């Protein structure tokens, strides 16, 4: 089939909490694989190159408007200036502009009709995030296309904006994240990964139930030190709890492959990298029933529990750890291959964009 997308501008930022096998960059690479493309990456190093006094002069002269009123709390004035300048100057050379919304979308860009008319905006946050920060959703009208990662988001943005909304799944590197012999998993090893939108209270309370019941288990928590809550300090008192920080992709892969279960107590969710990575590794999953979780896993392949009752979650962990889970591991991997292949996801999105 002839590919009609001839020119794509991929505007991306390096996120320190994502590795080379995770995150938004994968779909950008797939979408631009067979196209003439230009990729622009911003980072703290790029931002430091901006002459701050020159920037302040532009603000004073009102060449940059409303510098303190930004679309996202993730942005700052320098980001606003940098993103608007780069995309304004490059949009005329591109048919589509791919960018991550909450991290890169600024108020100045939302005022630029030329950029908006070509913008393919990837939004990653759950609906609760937009309500929490009082984001003015009307600002997202007249964008060429909004791409979301869960059915909850799709419903919300369809109701709140006049922009085209497409739902995709957040994929995973299926070659890197893979299964091993189920017999090589460490017996009763519980794995917890990440920090964002994790329910640390539920994690702590569930583990306390297991300890009170004198259940035999080991817990490994992979959480950056700068994001750790006091809940982890209290859990660290126990000899069967281990906290890890700054591990490599290979070390993370081995943890998925050797753990008996991934425990993901969540506050909210769209797509969750840890769930997708564990799924690709065939690792049994126990997760909170929130947000877009059921867009990725169902009751046939994962244990999904509604509410915050730690006793229910503890019983769920006990049930998983009491079985060999071979059949479930196979189903998890097959599901990942079916729905989380970045190549298939990007091709479906490409076709959607061409039909508009």
Over residues 222-247, the mean pLDDT reads 96
Q: What is the model's pTM?
A: 0.89
In the predicted model, is pLDDT for residue 11 greater than 60?
yes
Q: What's the confidence (pLDDT) of residue 180?
A: 79
> Are 202 and 291 in the same domain?
yes
Q: What's the confidence (pLDDT) of residue 5?
A: 45
> Are 312 and 217 in the same domain?
yes
In the predicted model, is pLDDT for residue 338 greater than 90?
yes
In the predicted model, is pLDDT for residue 247 greater than 50?
yes
Residue 35 lies in a domain: yes
In the predicted model, is pLDDT for residue 20 greater than 70?
no
C-beta of residue 222 within 8 angstroms of C-beta of residue 22: no
> Are 139 and 256 in the same domain?
no
Q: Which of 138, 176, 178 is nearest to 159 (CA)?
A: 138
Q: What's the confidence (pLDDT) of residue 53?
A: 56
Task: List, in order, residues 6 or more apart from 47 with CB less than 8 Å away.
Answer: 78, 79, 82
> What are 322-332's pLDDT values in tens digits?
998 999 999 99
Residue 1 lies in a domain: no
In the predicted model, is pLDDT for residue 159 greater than 90?
yes
> Are 227 and 239 in the same domain?
yes
Q: What's the confidence (pLDDT) of residue 257?
A: 96
Query: Is the pLDDT higher at 350 or at 159?
Result: 159
> Are 267 and 318 in the same domain?
yes
Instruction: With H, G, I as helix, E, B as strand and everything else as coil, classify residue 245.
Output: coil
Q: What whole-number distance in Å separates Cα of residue 204 and Cα of residue 29?
A: 38
Residue 2 lies in a domain: no
> Are 198 and 278 in the same domain?
yes
> Are 154 and 208 in the same domain?
no
In the predicted model, is pLDDT for residue 44 greater than 60?
no
Lowest mean pLDDT among 78-87, 234-243, 272-281: 78-87
Lowest mean pLDDT among 80-89, 194-203, 264-273: 80-89
Domains in the chain, number? 2
Instruction: With H, G, I as helix, E, B as strand and everything else as coil, classify residue 185.
Output: coil
What domain range includes position 104?
Answer: 7-171+341-355
> Are 140 and 271 in the same domain?
no
Q: What are phi and psi of 198, to 5 degrees?
A: -85, 145
The token pair at 263 is: 């425990």
> Are 188 and 330 in the same domain?
yes
Over residues 183-199, the mean pLDDT reads 93
Q: How confident is the prediction for the chain on average, in pLDDT?
A: 85
Q: What's the confidence (pLDDT) of residue 51?
A: 53
Residue 250 lies in a domain: yes
> Are 106 and 238 in the same domain?
no
Task: List, in order, residues 6 or more apart from 327 with CB less than 8 Å away.
Answer: none
Q: What whole-number distance in Å separates Cα of residue 301 and Cα of residue 21?
A: 24
43-60 in b/e form (b: 16+ CB < 10 A) is eeeeeeeeeeeebeeebe
Band of residue 282 on the pLDDT scale cut at 50, 70, 90: very high
For residue 60, the 8-state DSSP code is H
Residue 176 lies in a domain: no
Q: What whole-number distance in Å separates Cα of residue 316 and Cα of residue 261?
A: 10
In the predicted model, is pLDDT for residue 281 greater than 60?
yes
- Can you say how many angstroms the Cα of residue 3 is from the centroid of all Cα atoms in its chain? 28
Query: Is the pLDDT higher at 15 or at 338?
Result: 338
Q: What's the confidence (pLDDT) of residue 100?
A: 83
For residue 324, the 8-state DSSP code is -
Q: Residue 148 is part of a domain; what is its CATH number?
A: 3.40.50.2000
Q: What whole-number distance in Å separates Cα of residue 55 and Cα of residue 78?
A: 8
The token pair at 189 is: 């090893």
Band of residue 104 on the pLDDT scale cut at 50, 70, 90: confident
Highest-pLDDT range among 38-52, 92-106, 272-286: 272-286
Q: What's the confidence (pLDDT) of residue 294?
A: 98
> Are 128 and 225 in the same domain?
no
- Can you say how many angstroms the Cα of residue 128 is from the centroid of all Cα atoms in its chain? 15
> Are 232 and 149 in the same domain?
no
Q: What whole-number distance in Å separates Cα of residue 176 and Cα of residue 251?
A: 12
């Amino acid at each position: 089939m002839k590919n009609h997308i001839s020119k794509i501008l991929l505007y991306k930022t390096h996120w320190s909490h994502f590795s080379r096998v995770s995150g938004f960059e994968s779909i950008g690479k797939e979408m631009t694989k067979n196209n003439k493309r230009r990729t622009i990456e911003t980072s703290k190093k790029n931002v430091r190159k901006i002459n701050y006094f020159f920037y302040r002069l532009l603000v004073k002269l009102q060449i940059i408007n409303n510098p303190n009123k930004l679309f996202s709390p993730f942005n700052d004035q320098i980001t606003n200036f940098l993103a608007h300048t780069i995309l304004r100057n490059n949009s005329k050379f591109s048919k589509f502009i791919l960018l991550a919304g909450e991290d890169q979308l600024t108020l100045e860009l939302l005022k630029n009709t030329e950029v908006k008319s070509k913008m393919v905006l990837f939004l990653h946050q759950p609906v609760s995030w937009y309500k929490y920060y009082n984001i003015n959703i009307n600002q997202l009208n007249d964008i060429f296309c909004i791409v979301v990662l869960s059915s909850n988001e799709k419903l919300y943005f369809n109701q709140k904006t006049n922009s085209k909304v497409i739902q995709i799944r957040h994929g995973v590197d299926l070659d890197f994240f893979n299964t091993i012999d189920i017999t090589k998993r460490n017996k009763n090893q519980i794995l917890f990964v990440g920090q964002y939108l994790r329910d640390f209270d539920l994690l702590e309370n569930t583990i306390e139930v297991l300890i009170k019941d004198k259940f035999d288990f080991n817990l490994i928590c992979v959480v950056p030190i700068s994001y750790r809550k006091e809940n982890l300090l209290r859990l660290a008192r126990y000899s069967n709890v281990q906290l890890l920080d700054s591990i490599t992709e290979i070390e993370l892969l081995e943890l998925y492959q050797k753990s008996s279960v991934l425990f993901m107590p969540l506050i909210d969710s769209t797509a969750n990298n840890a769930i997708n990575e564990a799924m690709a590794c065939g690792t049994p999953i126990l997760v909170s029933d929130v947000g877009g979780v059921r867009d990725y896993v169902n009751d046939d392949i994962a244990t999904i529990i509604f509410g915050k009752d730690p006793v229910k979650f503890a019983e769920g962990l006990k049930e998983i750890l009491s079985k060999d889970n071979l059949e479930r591991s196979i189903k998890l991997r097959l599901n990942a291959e079916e729905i989380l292949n970045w190549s298939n996801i990007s091709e479906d999105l490409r076709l959607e964009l061409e039909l508009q």
